[in-house]
């Protein structure tokens, strides 16, 4: 198959590109390198440096004959979405609509979309959240991701464009950028390996569902052959607090630094956890890496 992967120079999508190419698929990457890195690019993929809002994207579609679009390019900084919701919506909503319109105009059959488990559910009513949990996002970022999900439903009804929506938990792993809007795992590893003091925000009891990037990749490979339109959580169903992450990484890196707590972040979600039971039943996917295995591999990659 011929597949367009947006954001394919980024942390998550670059691993997906590698997997698609290893399976024999032809891949074109569109990325403006605003957060992605050229060093992440697979040499066997065709690379187009372009913003997904660009009108010239139409030429990329017209010349390619894509079977599937895997869309991971996004404005993913929650704090920036709060500071500048217009910019957030321009990238995440208008950029996605630009892709969808080009899909319809050029006969693309399937659209794989990276959404967010934590941000679309907001403050959860129950744990872990399943796909029918109420969606009340508390950030513009979560709102834009949910909006794109609704547009995908519309494009399925109006144009028969199939979709697979993945609501990711907190993803970590090799190639994660420790700068900007990064996961706590990458931030802690960079600090600890440099012998610098990492700071735990607040009491460190805030929990997240940490899922290893290679487990996400398997789901994105499975989605290529899946014939229906659906939405799936991708997580572990386990809550882990920040204190545990710090203590585990402190040990794995051998840094053995003191645990230092700073002020809490205003508006930070206290708990987030999602269940993968639906995708397990439908696609037989389940996480294969436990937290200890994933953290060790991530630390090794950072070294």
CATH for 122: 3.40.50.720
Q: Is there a domain that residue 284 lies in?
A: no
Which pLDDT belongs to residue 168? 98
Task: Give the chain's residues under pLDDT 70.
Answer: 180-182, 267
Q: Is there a domain that residue 77 lies in?
A: yes
Verify that 127 and 73 share a domain, yes or no. Answer: yes
Of 203, 94, 207, 111, residue with least CA distance to 165: 111
Verify that 94 and 182 share a domain, yes or no. Answer: no
Which pLDDT belongs to residue 85? 97
Distance from CA of residue 282 to its chain's centroid? 21
Q: Is there a domain that residue 37 lies in?
A: yes
Verify that 60 and 131 share a domain, yes or no. Answer: yes
Helix (H) or strand (E) holding 142: helix 140-159
Structural domain including 297 reads 172-209+238-274+289-302
Verify that 141 and 198 share a domain, yes or no. Answer: no
Tokens of 75: 């404005």
Helix (H) or strand (E) holding 199: strand 199-201
Q: Is there a domain that residue 176 lies in?
A: yes
pTM above 0.95, yes or no: yes
How far is it, in rounded angstroms, from Cα 205 to Cα 33? 34
Q: Is there a domain that residue 198 lies in?
A: yes
Q: Is there a domain that residue 281 lies in?
A: no
For the question of residue 121 being annotated catalytic, the response is no
Verify that 99 and 179 share a domain, yes or no. Answer: no
Q: Write the CA distances from 39 to 8, 51, 77, 228, 295, integer angstroms.
A: 11, 18, 22, 35, 22
How far is it, in rounded angstroms, from Cα 194 to Cα 189? 8
Verify that 134 and 11 share a domain, yes or no. Answer: yes
Verify that 32 and 124 share a domain, yes or no. Answer: yes
Q: Degrees (nearest 5) of the Cα angle 180, 11, 134?
A: 80
Verify that 259 and 165 share a domain, yes or no. Answer: no
Domain count, the chain: 2
Tokens 């508390």 -> residue: 138
Verify that 201 and 144 share a domain, yes or no. Answer: no
Active-site residue, from 20, 121, 141, 276: 141
Which pLDDT belongs to residue 68? 98
Verify that 109 and 180 share a domain, yes or no. Answer: no
Tokens of 27: 């891949």
CATH of the domain at 294: 3.90.25.10
């Amino acid at each position: 198959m011929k597949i367009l992967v947006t954001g394919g120079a980024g942390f998550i999508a670059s691993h997906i590109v590698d997997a698609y190419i290893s399976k024999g698929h032809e891949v074109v990457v569109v990325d403006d390198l605003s957060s992605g890195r050229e060093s992440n690019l697979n040499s066997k993929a065709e690379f187009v440096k372009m913003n997904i809002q660009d009108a010239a994207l139409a030429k990329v579609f017209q010349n390619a004959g894509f079977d599937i679009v895997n869309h991971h390019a996004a404005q993913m900084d929650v704090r920036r979405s709060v500071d500048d919701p217009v910019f957030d919506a321009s990238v995440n909503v208008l950029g996605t609509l630009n892709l969808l319109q080009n899909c319809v105009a050029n006969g693309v059959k399937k659209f794989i979309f990276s959404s967010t488990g934590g941000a679309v559910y907001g403050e959860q009513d129950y744990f872990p959240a399943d796909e029918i949990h109420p969606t009340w996002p508390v950030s513009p970022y979560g709102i834009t991701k949910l909006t794109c999900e609704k547009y995908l439903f519309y494009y399925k009804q109006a144009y028969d464009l199939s979709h697979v929506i993945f609501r990711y938990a907190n993803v970590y792993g090799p190639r994660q950028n420790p700068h900007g809007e990064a996961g706590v795992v990458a931030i802690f590893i960079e600090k600890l390996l440099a012998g610098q003091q990492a700071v735990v925000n607040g009491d460190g009891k805030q929990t997240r569902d940490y899922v290893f990037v290679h487990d996400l990749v398997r789901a994105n490979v499975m989605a290529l052959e899946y014939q229906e339109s659906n939405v799936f959580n991708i997580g572990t169903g386990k809550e882990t607090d920040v204190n545990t992450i710090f203590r585990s990484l402190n040990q794995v890196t051998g840094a053995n630094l003191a645990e230092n707590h700073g002020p809490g972040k205003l508006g930070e979600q206290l708990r987030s956890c999602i269940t993968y039971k639906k995708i397990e039943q439908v696609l037989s996917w389940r996480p294969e890496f436990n937290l200890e295995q994933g953290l060790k591999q991530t630390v090794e990659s950072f070294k």
